[in-house]
Structure 1
């Protein structure tokens, strides 16, 4: 069993095979779950509350370990939480982006260059000295993404990053991530339950009861979920 340490095969950035996860003294959250995300593409993970989306993302990031199954990740991983306040730890924008570079033992000049490049990528270069508390929710999420870019992460895992944002900021962020994926050759897996966000991705997975029950064209999956909502209403 691997938990994200081994690279994915071929042109795949993420591979998951027969993944099972159960909380201690709890029910099984993931049941022989399998999926593939191609390199350089932006995919989304859909499902109702309790379907296992966030748990799967944490397994991919190595924050949890599965009972059985295999995970392959091609390249370093950056994880973006639903609430950016849970991962932004420094007082200013620039300091927070630089914080993740401490372990790499870079020179001051190298750190400054990485921070500038990362903030430019998310259009926050003018806010390097801005206090974190003075940022909007969308800006905070972009700082979190900039931190992953500064560390040269090749795979972005985003757990409902628009959940706390206003409608305009939601679509701005998803468009920004799509642009980053396409311009920088990154791979992203984005957890959402907002169907309008599907307009920006290359493909999507539908998770139900801990298993992927459908995958592929986001437009088709959007129609399927819209029809389900109509029938339930």
Structure 2
């Protein structure tokens, strides 16, 4: 069952210069879907259109052409805007731009309060959301005292407390160190696997995409290729032709394969890479 459907989506930005009427096409007749409960990763280099696409999923941006449906609701229908944004939460890359309160638990409560949730239920939602991202013990802390990864997990908790069916994360680890990246990825995976929340992860880190159920690669406002991580990253030449990378484990074995080593299947992660190399050395 599709939770988000994109039909012939086109979007362009207009120049801010009154003397320049140029329109820059960012998304071009794009068709795709997000299945309910899946973990979808959207990859692409800067300017490929992936962040613009993410903003269409909760009606921050509206199509210049085509349609976007969220749980069968048209994002262009103003009467459905509240329901759409209640169903799809958006987490951006800089956590400092998303935290609005001086205490962690008050920040997480901000969303439910604006939805008109009763105080007793807000308390329950805040506690449950912080526990879901392993930040409950920091509930009385000031956000500015947290690490980047912890701040991003609090931002995710704020979305969880609103009880959306889907969370879209637009490069949430771009400003984090490796430890913070791992904390956020563990949280995202846990929410999808244990709570069944639909996840759409926008990223340019190939190693993060390996954890997804399905991967879409964008280039120049279009879908370049899509499939399972194994299907997508087996197309090493295609990916590289479009100035993108593949996971390090895949890269190593691809180069060995080119050099004549008998490697039948390219691995996606370090453990699989070790297994492949051990098999070759037998």
**Please, what TM-score do these two structures have when normalized by structure 1?**
0.90
Distance change in 2, residues 1:108/1:197 (3 Å): same
- Measure how far apart 1:213 and its partner are: 2.1
State the 4+ residue runs in structure 1 displaced beyond 3 angstroms: 225-233
Q: State which of 11, 35, 38 in structure 2 corresponds to 1:38.
A: 35
Deviation at 1:231, TM superposition (A): 9.6
- For 1:132, the equivalent position in structure 2 comes to 143
For residues 233 and 183 of structure 2, the distance between their equivalents in structure 1, rounded to whole angstroms, comes to: 20
Matched, 1:19 2:30: no
Alignment of 1:1-233 (within 5 A): 11-25=1-15, 26-74=23-71, 76-225=87-236, 228-229=239-240
Contact 2:91 2:167 (C-alpha < 8 Å) held by counterparts: yes
Q: Which structure is higher in RCO with an 8 Å CA cutoff and minimum separation 6?
A: 1
Q: Distance in 2 between matches of 1:136 and 1:33?
A: 37
After superposition, what is the alpha-carbon deviation per residue over 1:102-159, rounded to whole angstroms, capped at 9, x for unaligned? 2332332211111001101111111111101011111111111111111011111100
Structure 1 distance, partners of 2:14, 2:242, is 36
- Relative to structure 1, the CA distance from residue 181 to residue 228 in structure 2 (aligned partners, 3 Å threshold; closer, same or farther) is closer
Quote the Cα distance in structure 2 between the aligned partners of 1:172 and 1:89. 22
How far apart are 1:225 and its partner, in Å? 4.7
Q: Which has the larger radius of gyration?
A: 2
SS of residue in 2 equivalent to 1:18? strand
- Contact between 1:48 and 1:208, CA under 8 Å: does it hold in 2? yes
Displacement of 1:226 after TM fit? 7.1
RMSD across aligned positions (CA): 1.9
How many pairs does the alignment contain? Answer: 223
Q: Is the 8 A contact 2:217 2:223 kept in 1?
A: yes
The CA deviation string for residues 77-106 of structure 1, in whole angstroms up to 9 with x for no partner, is 110001011111111110000011123323
Q: Runs of 5+ in structure 1 lacking a partner? A: 1-10
Q: Distance in 2 between matches of 1:95 and 1:183?
A: 25
Whole-Å separation in 1 of the counterparts to 2:215 and 2:227: 6
Unaligned stretches of 5+ in structure 2? Answer: 16-22, 72-83, 246-282
Deviation, 1:193, is 0.9
Deviation at 1:202, TM superposition (A): 0.4
* Separation (CA, whole Å) in 2 of partners of 1:27 and 1:132: 38
User: Would the aligned equivalents of 1:18 and 1:68 in 2 still touch at CA under 8 Å?
Assistant: yes
Q: Deviation digits for residues 11-63 of structure 1, max 9, x if unmatched?
A: 11211111000111331000001111111111100111111010110111211
Change (3 A) 1:189 1:231: closer
**Equivalent position SS for 1:28:** strand
CA–CA distance in structure 2, aligned partners of residues 83 and 201 of structure 1? 22
